[in-house]
Amino acid sequence: MIKRVPVSALRVGMYITDLNNDWIPHNSQRKRGVIKKEETIEKIRRMGVQFVYIDASRGLDTQDSETAAEVDRRNESALQRAGEQSPGVRARVPLEEEIVIAQRIHSQAQGLVGDFMNNVKLGGAIDIAPIHKLADELQHSVFRNANALSCLGRIREKDNYLLEHSVNLSVLMSLFGNYRGLSADVLHQTIVGALLHDLGKILTPDDILHKPGRLSPEEFEVMKLHARHSRDILAATEGIGELTVITAAQHHERLDGSGYPEGLKGNEISEYGRMVAITDVYDAITADRVYHKGLTPTQGLKKLLEWSGDHLDPVLVKEFIRCIGLYPVGSLVLLESGRLGVVVEANDSDQRLPTVKVIYHTRFRMAIPVETLDLARPAAHDRIVRAVDPDEYRIDVRKFLA
């Protein structure tokens, strides 16, 4: 049986199935196996991990635990409570209209951020004006219909993670900032900070940055320096605002001080640092990586809830969930009819009733003609039962998002 146990209850002889530390970016450490020595437990404790998952059937057990099923039920309950609140930013133009503009912006954004990083790396003249213009276009697109860029954010390739992550993070920060009512200037600065938050990776050796296997502890320490490098490069760049520097510098800080580069705690981390930490973790854990199979959007939201308080701001996590919806764009959901649908657009009034593309029938185990269904319309006669994992049905949701 899989159980969640506090680190204080770990003992030699227990079998770890998950270190539960994917909130640590670039973490590629071994996640499972029998604990053979006390030093391993101390190493886990130093990482800032509060709880891990063990398999009681393959190693020692403890009464100081709860089953993984119990944890999931609690997170699901918290997720549903957040879903009862008003949703995020209201769409002002139709999705099919904005998706055309969003595709241009999304493609342009990856190229522009890549060119900017290469230019900085080669020591060329830095022109920040195109980045400012791009941030404005992202902000306007999200204002018109956030679902368009959200759809494109789920169509990603793991070999292009760095650039896609930077663009996706800026979209999430734009959506989050809009929802929280940030002023136009503050929102603009945080979007630029999200776009360039990983700029410091240009100083990370390629053999570490692109290593397909696990990073050694020494390599991980080198990787962690990128946040400080991002801060320093941006602080020295003319035309960059203070909040942009703060956003980029603090995206890996954690409430309990286990983050980096400064190990800030609680209110030492700015409001924008706490916001970008949430969006950064969410985008990272829901992306496929060389060493990591991405979680579904709903699984990602549950993990944010699980890590709230210790690592992530619990109030802001709940706001973020209300912002992107109970079933984020790109989620695969099971309907009462037995059909599966891919969420393509949030509902402005009730996030439990998004628009989906119905694509598969679970009772007949077969694909069906694609149909766009607005669950908020009385004629829909269908409701969501739960989110499901696309791998369970060997469905690639990306095919239905653009």
User: Which phi and psi (to 5°) does residue 332 adopt?
Assistant: -100, 125
The answer to whether 33 and 57 have CB atoms below 8 angstroms apart is no
Q: pLDDT of the chain along its 402 residues, tens only?
A: 999 999 999 999 999 998 888 877 666 555 689 999 898 899 888 888 889 999 999 999 999 989 999 999 998 888 888 777 666 567 789 999 999 999 999 999 989 999 999 888 888 778 899 999 999 999 999 999 989 999 988 887 766 788 899 999 999 999 999 999 999 999 999 999 999 999 999 999 988 888 877 788 888 899 999 999 999 999 999 999 999 999 999 999 999 998 999 999 999 999 999 999 999 999 999 988 766 788 999 999 999 999 998 899 999 999 999 888 889 999 999 999 999 999 999 887 888 899 999 999 999 999 999 999 999 998 888 999 999 999 999 999 999 997
Please give the full DSSP string across 216-274, using - where no structure is assigned: PHHHHHHHHTHHHHHHHHHHTSTT--HHHHHHHHTTT--TBS-SSSS--BGGGS-HHHH
pLDDT given at position 30: 59
Q: How many helices (H) and strands (E) does the chain have?
A: 13, 10
pLDDT given at position 86: 65
pLDDT given at position 29: 59
Output the pTM of the full model.
0.91
Tokens of 190: 């945080």
Nearest alpha-carbon partner for 353 in 334, 385, 381, 376: 376
User: Which phi and psi (to 5°) does residue 377 adopt?
Assistant: -80, 135
The answer to whether 169 and 280 have CB atoms below 8 angstroms apart is yes
CA pair distance 123, 283, nearest whole angstrom:
30
